[in-house]
């Protein structure tokens, strides 16, 4: 039985089921339809995003005006953590920690990859649904559960985890060392363990679906780049997430059962602890073996979305389709052997530092290829500046700006002096935070019609983009300078160092940009939620795109296509093909007689 025929039967089964028992619960809550699950991921991701961003605004205010008191601190953090509106130093660290955790895992991993992998994989490869709809549903609900546990940890007595999102032991292992390492940390670990289970189920589903359920004619080299990046991302996830799970489990053992995997020779609060023989450096290795691939898990899907949106809105094929695939594969491979660049000064053998410098700087090559290919895609195009296109261009811009400083941080010699300073924060927020967020926004503006059958307001989209773009640079560009001045990250206030007094004005500027940028996300939220109900009704293929998702009806049906699944006859980037009069030729249009393939 061919994959296509299989998908076909599968679809029909579901249609029958549907006519009989499609209740509110099976449709909106415990849905096994990938489109609904995608929307669930998106909404959950947006809610977590709001929480994460508000946290960052709070600690930015603390950094800019450390001596002021703010009523809002008291309102949001309570009397215990912000008496009289003055933020306590341990809750500052908790905010930093949970902001990082939420943004990296819950927004940019699950919210981004979860949403668009679920939405686009079946639609773009021509499948009725994911390989296992049931497992897909479980994957979402585990993610939801982990988010709930993470949010619960905010309300425990001693405060949430506050050892930084990297939770290095011993700080994360000993409640004596910081109050957040008590129940807060336990819940953090439980939440992450559930999250990893969810992520693994999702990833396995994506891999199996891409390999087995492609429609007739959809060879691997006719896959849209979105699917390539989701596919490769899922593979990296399956390889690296279990290592974090093992690190989390071993840490739970150390915390609760007295083992010494990561702890040794500790004297704290007036007593010697029994731990002996473990090493915190081991934890760092295990953590970053996931932690570094994780940034590619975040950025690769964004790259895929941007490639697709750029081609569509440039009315041009993506430049160097095969080079793009090769570079994604190269990045994925290299991403698993560079984790040590987070540990140059961790005390590991300096020889290892040399090796990791070498592999790390190699990543710049496929990254440069991608950036140049995107720029060339714009060259002599017919650019349609839909909001999604603006965000895509913005993503390339911040990816370049942020990526270039990676040459400094990836070089062990230079890392010595900028390690753990604000320079690092500026670098990674631009290259994977803002870039991935732009990729996510681009995806939302572009596929909103596919998700909700309505259009987002473009003028609000323009305002959203331009204010965000100015504020993103306004926040992170000056941050490089205070990092180069030697200002360490994760300091609750810098007032104890007259040396850094001249950086305070810059901090105020950064926070101002952050507050304005944060406030303007309300424009997006308004646009998003009002357009779900009142947006202009979408036509079937609003962006005149070539990929298969736009051949499905606007109204969602379980099984995606009412009749047979379309067959594929060409690659996904036949824009402005000189053999055709229209400037796009969908993948399901057969080759004309004598038509030659114009790309390699």
Partner 1 sequence: MTSLLVIIVVVLLAVALWQLTKIFDLTQVGSSSDDSQVASDNDNNVQGYIMFGFLAFIYIFTIYGLLKWGNLALHTPASEHGLLVDNLMNITWVLIFTVQVITQGLLYWFSFKNRGHKDRKALFFADSNKLEAIWSIIPSVVLACLILYGLYAWNNIMFVDKDEDVVEIELYAQQFKWTARYAGQDNVLGKANVRLIEGINTLGVDMSDPNAQDDIVVTELHIPKGKKVHFKMRSQDVLHSAYMPHFRAQMNCVPGMVTEFAFVPTYTTAEYRELDFMKEKVANINKLRAEKSVELVAKGGTALDPYTFDYLLLCNKICGASHYNMQMKVVVDTPEDYKKWLSEKTTLAQDIKAAAEAEKAKAAEATAPTTDTTAKVIDTVKAVIDTVKATVAKVAIK
Of 206-265, binders to partner 1 (CB under 8 A) are 263-265
Span interacting with partner 1, options 6-14, 74-82, 237-245, 266-274, rule CB under 8 A: 266-274
Q: Using N-to-C axis directions, what is the helix angle for 280-314 and 364-378, rounded to 10°?
A: 20
**Residue 361 engages partner 1 in binding (rule: CB under 8 A):** yes
Output the six-digit token pair for 581. 């009069």
Alpha carbon 342 to its chain centroid, in Å, reads 19
Q: How far apart are CA 509 and CA 473, in angstroms?
A: 12
Which residue in 11, 35, 14, 246 sits closest to 136, CA to CA?
35
Rounded CA-CA distance 63/75 in Å is 18
The single residue among 30, 141, 144, 491 that binds partner 1, judged by CB under 8 A, is 491
Among 86, 368, 557, 589, binds partner 1 (CB under 8 A): 368
**For partner 1, which is the closer residue by CB, 252 or 378?**
378
Q: Are 299 and 436 in contact (CB under 8 A)?
A: yes
**Which of the residues 75 through 134 are near partner 1 (CB under 8 A)?**
89-90, 93
**Residue closer to partner 1, measured from CB, 3 or 388:** 388
CB of 493 to partner 1, least distance (A): 6
Kindly tell me which residue out of 212, 221, 354, 540 binds partner 1, with binding defined by CB under 8 A.
354
Q: Does 379 bind partner 1 (CB under 8 A)?
A: yes
158 near partner 1, judged by CB under 8 A: no
Which C-beta is closer to partner 1: that of 212 or that of 276?
276
Kindly tell me which of 160 and 170 has the beta carbon lying closer to partner 1. Answer: 170
Comparing CB distances to partner 1, the nearer of 212 and 459 is 459
Helix/strand/coil for 59:
helix
Q: How many CB atoms lie within 10 A of CB 538?
A: 17
Q: How far is the CB of 538 from partner 1 (least distance, A)?
A: 8
Phi, psi of 359, deg, nearest 5: -65, -35
In this chain, which of 30, 144, 168, 253 binds partner 1, going by CB under 8 A?
168
Q: Which is nearer to partner 1, 246 or 504 (CB)?
A: 504
Under rule CB under 8 A, residue 499 binds partner 1: yes
Give the separation between CA 16 and CA 11, rounded to whole angstroms.
9
Cis peptide before 579 (omega within 30 of 0): no
Site residues for partner 1, 302-341, by CB under 8 A, read: 314-317, 319-323
Q: Is 572 in the site for partner 1 (CB under 8 A)?
A: no
Cα distance between residue 66 and residue 11, in whole Å: 59
Q: Which of 78, 258, 350, 553 binds partner 1 (CB under 8 A)?
A: 350
- Listed residue (424, 373, 369) closest to 402, CA to CA: 424
CB of 445 to partner 1, least distance (A): 10
DSSP string over 400-427: HHHHHHHHHHTSHHHHHHHTTBHHHHHH
Nearer to partner 1 among residue 148 and residue 416 (C-beta)? 416
The residues in 396-415 that bind partner 1, with binding defined as CB under 8 A, are 396-397, 400-401, 404-405, 407-408, 411-414
Contacting partner 1 within 433-462 (CB under 8 A): 455-460, 462
Question: Which C-beta is closer to partner 1: that of 240 or that of 312?
Answer: 312
For residue 305, what are its two tokens?
Answer: 């979305």
Q: Which residues contact 467 (CB under 8 A, 6 or more apart)?
A: 516, 517, 520, 523
506 binds partner 1 per the rule CB under 8 A: yes
- Compute and round to an integer the Cα radius of gyration of the chain: 24
Instruction: Return d(Cα 354, Cα 566) in angstroms, integer.
Output: 52
- How many CB atoms neighbour CB 413 within 10 A? 10
Which region among 60-68, 209-217, 244-252, 333-341 touches partner 1 (by CB under 8 A)? 60-68
278 binds partner 1 (CB under 8 A): yes
Stretch that binds partner 1, among 138-146, 234-242, 244-252, 274-282 (CB under 8 A): 274-282
Binder among 59, 70, 116, 241 for partner 1 (CB under 8 A) = 70
Cα 106 to Cα 110: distance, rounded to the nearest angstrom: 5
Nearest CB to partner 1, comparing residues 500 and 561: 500
Q: 88 in helix, strand or coil?
A: coil
Determine the length of the chain.
Answer: 600
Site residues for partner 1, window 523-562 (CB under 8 A)?
Answer: 523, 535-536, 539, 542-543
Q: Mark the segment that binds partner 1 (CB under 8 A) among 38-46, 140-148, 237-245, 361-369.
A: 361-369
User: Is residue 563 a contact residue for partner 1 (CB under 8 A)?
Assistant: no
Number of residues that bind partner 1 (CB under 8 A): 148
Query: What is the rounded CA–CA span in Å between residue 81 and residue 377?
Result: 51
Distance in Å, CB of 408 to partner 1, minimum: 6
CB of 190 to partner 1, least distance (A): 22
What are the CB-based long-range contacts (under 8 Å, 24+) for 491-496?
Answer: 492/62, 492/66, 492/87, 492/89, 492/92, 492/93, 493/62, 493/63, 493/66, 493/89, 494/63, 494/66, 495/66, 495/67
175 binds partner 1 (CB under 8 A): no
Examine residue 282 and tell whether it contacts partner 1 (CB under 8 A): no
Bridge partners of residue 412, in order along the sequence: none
Which one among 119, 127, 174, 440 touches partner 1, defined by CB under 8 A?
A: 174
Find the part of the chain contacting partner 1 (CB under 8 A) among 118-126, 219-227, 292-300, 394-402.
394-402
Per the DSSP assignment, residues forming a β-bridge with 454 are: 537
- Choosing from 184, 293, 381, 586, the residue that interacts with partner 1 (CB under 8 A) is 381
CB closer to partner 1, 8 vs 316: 316
Q: Site for partner 1 (CB under 8 A): which residue of 13, 15, 17, 502?
A: 502
User: Least distance (Å) from partner 1 to the CB of residue 472?
Assistant: 11
C-alpha span between 304 and 439 (Å, rounded):
9
The tally of CA atoms less than 13 A away on the side-chain side of residue 195 is 27
């Amino acid at each position: 039985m061919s994959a296509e025929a299989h998908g076909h039967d599968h679809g029909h089964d579901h249609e029958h089921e549907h006519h009989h028992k499609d209740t509110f619960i099976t449709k909106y809550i415990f849905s096994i339809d990938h489109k609904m699950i995608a929307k669930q991921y998106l909404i959950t991701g947006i809610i977590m995003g709001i929480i994460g961003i508000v946290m960052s605004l709070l600690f930015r205010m603390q950094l800019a005006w450390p001596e002021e008191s703010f009523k809002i601190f008291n309102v949001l953090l309570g009397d215990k953590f912000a008496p009289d509106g003055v933020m306590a130093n341990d809750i500052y660290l908790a905010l930093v920690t949970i902001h990082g955790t939420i943004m990296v895992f819950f927004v940019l991993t699950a919210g981004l990859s979860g949403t668009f992998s679920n939405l686009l994989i079946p639609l773009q490869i021509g499948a009725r649904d994911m390989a296992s709809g049931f497992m897909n549903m479980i994957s979402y609900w585990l993610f939801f559960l982990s988010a709930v546990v993470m949010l619960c940890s905010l309300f425990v007595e001693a405060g949430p985890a506050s050892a930084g999102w990297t939770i290095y032991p011993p700080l994360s292992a000993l409640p004596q060392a910081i109050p957040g390492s008590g129940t807060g940390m336990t819940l953090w670990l439980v939440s992450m363990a559930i999250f990893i289970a969810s992520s693994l189920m999702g990833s396995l589903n994506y891999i199996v679906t891409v390999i087995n359920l492609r429609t007739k004619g959809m060879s691997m080299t006719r896959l849209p780049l979105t699917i390539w990046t989701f596919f490769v991302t899922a593979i990296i996830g399956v390889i690296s997430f279990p290592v974090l799970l093992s690190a989390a489990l071993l840490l739970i053992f150390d915390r609760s059962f007295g083992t010494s995997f990561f702890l040794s020779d500790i004297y704290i609060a007036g007593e010697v602890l029994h731990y002996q023989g473990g090493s915190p450096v081991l934890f760092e290795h295990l953590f970053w073996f996931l932690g570094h691939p994780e940034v590619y898990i975040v950025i690769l899907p964004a790259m895929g979305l941007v490639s697709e949106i750029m081609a569509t809105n440039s009315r041009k094929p993506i430049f160097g389709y095969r080079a793009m695939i090769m570079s994604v594969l190269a990045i994925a491979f290299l991403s698993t052997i560079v984790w040590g660049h987070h540990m140059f000064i961790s005390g590991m053998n300096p020889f290892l530092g040399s090796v990791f410098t070498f592999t790390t700087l190699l990543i710049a090559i496929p990254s440069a290829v991608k950036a140049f290919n995107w720029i060339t895609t714009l060259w002599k195009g017919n650019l349609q500046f839909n909001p999604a296109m603006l965000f895509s261009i913005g993503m390339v811009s911040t990816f370049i700006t942020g990526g270039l400083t990676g040459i400094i941080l990836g070089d062990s010699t230079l890392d010595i002096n900028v390690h753990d300073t604000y320079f690092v924060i500026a670098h990674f927020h631009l290259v994977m935070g803002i870039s991935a967020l732009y990729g996510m926004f681009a995806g939302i503006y572009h596929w909103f019609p596919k998700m909700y059958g309505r259009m987002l307001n473009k003028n609000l989209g323009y305002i959203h983009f331009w204010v965000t773009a100015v504020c993103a640079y306004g926040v992170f560009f000056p941050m490089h300078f205070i990092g180069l001045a030697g200002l360490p990250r994760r300091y609750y206030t810098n007032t104890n160092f007259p040396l850094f007094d001249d950086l305070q004005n810059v901090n105020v500027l950064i926070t101002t940009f952050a507050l304005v940028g944060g406030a303007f996300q309300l424009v997006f939220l308004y646009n998003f939620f009002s357009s779900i109900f009142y947006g202009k009704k979408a036509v079937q293929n609003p962006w005149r795109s070539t990929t298969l998702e736009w051949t499905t009806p606007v109204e969602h049906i379980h099984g995606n296509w009412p009749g047979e699944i379309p067959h594929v006859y060409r690659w996904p980037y036949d824009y402005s093909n000189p053999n055709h009069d229209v400037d796009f030729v969908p993948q399901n249009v057969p080759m004309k007689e004598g038509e030659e393939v114009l790309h390699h």
